[in-house]
Structure 1
Amino acid sequence: MSSSDLSWLDAAIPPSSNQLLNTSIRDAIAKDPHYLPLFQNISNYIVSVRAQADASGEPAVKKRKLDTPSASGAASPAVSNTAGNTVPSTEGAVLTVEGISFSVPARKKFNLVITPAAVSALVPATGKVEFGVEVDDIAYICCLPVPEKAARQWNFCIIPRGATGLGDDTGDAIVFTIPDGPPKTASGDALGQGHDTSTYRSLLIDVLNGLLKASKSNISLVEEPKESIFFSVRPQSHRKGERAFHVKAHRGSKEGYLFFLKNGILSAFRKPLVYFNFGDIDSVSYTSITKRTFNLSIRVAEDRGGGDFEFSMIDQEDYTGIDAYVKENRLHDASMAEQRRARFFNVNGKKGDDDGDAAGPGELEKAWEDAEDEEEEDYVPGQHADEGGSDSESGSDDEDDEGSEAGSENMESDDEGSIDLRDELGSEMEDVDADAPKPKRVKRVRA
């Protein structure tokens, strides 16, 4: 094809719409003709996308987002997953579940397709892969109850390698929600291979565990929360009598949930999800303690990027369970570390007590005990004495001894601020037994 025959360029980029770009491409081809095939391929692609958009009635920009070019022209081309790896086609799918609600990385309904090599989300209208992850690239999977929902639901969290939210990880996890019921929208060979098909949850766990066992990832199977590991003591008003496995916590201004699991701590379900494997945790500490809430700070090991992740406004009722979890899994409690002491309420111990400062506990109960001790130390006896209190009775025998010179002087000075019960009660004193002891003078307390 002659370099002077550029009708294909005018079809893709008409001079009337963008004269400068059209002219620039012509100049580039004239200077270096070997760029001719490249510009022609680009122009042909623009023309094809424009034709598809006209046929479907959708904007060209939206169409380009869904379509991924493929050299083989396969119906299900490869795409990039959330961790930046390539996902194979969905051919040979063992399980397809239609109309699954995803929340991360995109909040939309997709068809979930599981093959022996990958887990993918497909656009229902086009069958194109929107995102996915290879089984060998999966770092962690868990199935968690969705908090604060009247109808029981489950969230599957799939975390690819490079998407744990620590260090330089920039990828996104995959989170989708399934109902608690039989898998009515599921299809595929997996339904006839002896898997538990009683619910969506049991079927997906069986299928995913089978893939993980056969993969090279060498990771744990799908993890579920257990009461023996951790549960919240706070009752669930929407499902009475059922344990909650989450605690509410804020990270910055965003509210989310913390799940304390067998192999690590998960912060979910808002982007970005963060998964703290026990091997990634350098230490934990309790900070910003108040009467009703406290903060949990997780220090990440230096080889995983270092830094602190602080989760705030955790209810005090869950402290005991969280602290037991920390101790059970031998996560170093750094609450009394030197750089954290100023963030606590009166937990620095007594001055001069070097041993106490070095080995003081980092527990919440100790902080409150120290606060109470400080209040007792600040108390000044008699500062807020009530009228007619017991202080007025001390030394009364000396005041009644009129023969004592010192006593007389005290009585004269106190007469102005004292009262006689006989004068105050008047005739009512006539009913008092004559043998009753003489009423004592009561000292007035001046304001």
Structure 2
Amino acid sequence: MSDKIGLREAMSIGIGGMVGGGIFAVLGLAVSIAKGGTPVAFLFAGLIALITSYSYVKLSLAYSDRGGTVKFVNEGFGQSTFSGAINNLLWVSYIIMLALYSSAFGSYAPNLLSLTGDRALDAHLFSSAIIIIATLINYYSIKVVGAIESYAVIIKLVILLGFVVIGAYGLLGNENLPQLSPESWEAPFNLLVGGMVIFVAYEGFELIANAAPDIENPKKNIPKAYYYSVGFVILLYIIIAIVTVGSLPFSEIASAEDYVLAEAAKPLLGQVGFTIITVAALISTFSAINASLYGGTRVSFEIAQDDELPHELTSNLWNQPVGLMITAVVTLIAVNTLELKSISTAGSVGFLLIFAVVNFVGFKKASAINGNKVIPISGFLFCSFALVALIVQQYGDNPTGVIVAVSVVLICFVMEWIYKRSEAWKRKKSRE
């Protein structure tokens, strides 16, 4: 019996990675920035993801490895301080995504159960509790993590597709429909920035790269897995944004920013719809936390094996890599000290930079990977421009998020430089 996975399973990895907790966490944030142009903001972000997926297709075919992005960066820049810093940033970006998903879980959970009567306090309690529970599950059994993810992908897609179908029907004659007209759009620059702030909702497609060695008929199925999954999610997000903006006045979206998707179900299905979407959000964010904990731990392990982090990270703690505990603890700190907007900004900055680097590797290695140079360099330029635009706009509107994001990048580079210097010094001393 073959251990290979087909196109459907490969697509489910990409779709499951993207449609995790991101859309539940950042939809309200996107509307607050782009207003009626939110569907266009999601389109902007999706197009950058789609262009970047070309580089991932070519690199996945040429350098098929479970290290995925880590492998690609090392192929492009060798095991240098730069590659080590970018790969470290990938690990930290996983942690930021974990904080985002946990924050979303904490925002939706009080809709079903109040612990203290203080919604803000309840949110932090739920966010912290779900991280601890997911960590214990990861320590207990990786198979359980896989089972949770496989069922969660089906449940959340069924509910979201149901929301889209019913919501699209419910838009007919809705008094809030004019909010989607171009008169309600923000300026083009703000639409771009709105898309970049919520770019984290698309980042999961790169997980296909980690599964590339296990995909059957790779020359045919790997390109389809990337393009079909990203294209499907772009369409899904745009329709969800249309339904949300067309169903609720902006004032209600603002007041329910952290759990707006559940609120958008109320005009269509009443309290039942609100509860169903809340449950879908909890399932989606929980599965995303489980999967990201596992993914982040694997990234730290791979980086340590490549001598870009201390080898102690390849050692085990209770039969799991010690990176699992580090990832969980740092996530707990982040989710209890940062606001959702700052977390989202930091995550988007991290992945835009990482994807810019991967696109540059695709351009640099075009001959070796039998690729086109124009698409990867376009992806590099788009990611770079979007990154600068995001930082410039958010510095005026959300300086804390920008400071956190820039600090994370700088820390990754400084720590890798210090580590490389210390390792060189140790090798020198051992030869003397």
TM-score (norm 2): 0.22
Q: Bigger radius of gyration, 1 or 2? A: 1
Whose helix proportion is higher, 1 or 2? Answer: 2
Higher relative contact order (CA 8 A, sep 6+): 2
Q: Which has the higher strand share?
A: 1
When the two structures are superposed, what TM-score results if normalisation uses the length of structure 1?
0.21
